[in-house]
Amino acid sequence: MFDGLVQWARAKSPWVCHLNCGSCNGCDIEIVAALMPRFDLERFGILLEGTPRHADVILATGPVTRQIRDRVIRVYEQTPEPKFVIAVGTCGVSGSPFAPSYSVLGGVDQAMPVNMYIPGCPPRPDAITYGVLKLLGSLDPAIAEVVATIESKQDTTGLVYTPQEMAAISES
């Protein structure tokens, strides 16, 4: 019962921690825009949290460099379970166009497991909002209804990818 209560609370008010792994800041500005009143991620109970120790979701931007990889792993380990990672932006998704190179390993999944990928350079705030909601929709039926409404009103093809979809793309 307690686990159910924790899951309910997390789905109702997930706290997100914004982690820049080496981004040019383009994606970071779009994340800030998604959190500000115009797009208003907060209306879904999603709050920005300054420390990974109190966060449920890591919003990670930028390619993972050799220099920062260990710090990213440390941030992931500091985040309590259950935790989710969303890779935001093409750099966070695959490291492109900077990887592979002598200093850049690739996307965020080079350092920690990713639960949702949001491509784009940078992705729009509404795509970030959709990606976060789609991930949380797997925990909360009410948010899943919001996602279904969004999908019925606009074409969301290519806005976000699950790990399974990314694996299929990599194999093709």
Of 18, 39, 36, nearest to 27 by C-alpha is 18
Minimal distance, residue 23 CB to ligand SF4, in Å: 4
Interface with ligand SF4 in residues 93-152 (CB under 6 A): 121-122
**Nearest residue (CB) to ligand SF4, 21 versus 55:** 21
Phi, psi of 150 (to 5 degrees): -60, -45
User: Judged by CB under 6 A, does residue 23 bind ligand SF4?
Assistant: yes
Interface with ligand SF4 in residues 57-96 (CB under 6 A): 61-62, 89-91
Minimal distance, residue 122 CB to ligand SF4, in Å: 4
Look up residue 24 and give its two tokens: 């040019």
**Nearest residue (CB) to ligand SF4, 110 versus 140:** 110
Phi, psi of 61 (to 5 degrees): -120, 160
Minimal distance, residue 99 CB to ligand SF4, in Å: 11
Look up residue 71 and give its two tokens: 């710090």
- Cα 88 to the center of its chain, rounded Å: 6
**Number of other CB atoms surrounding residue 117 within 10 Å:** 26
Positions touching ligand SF4 (CB under 6 A) are 23-24, 26-27, 61-62, 89-91, 121-122
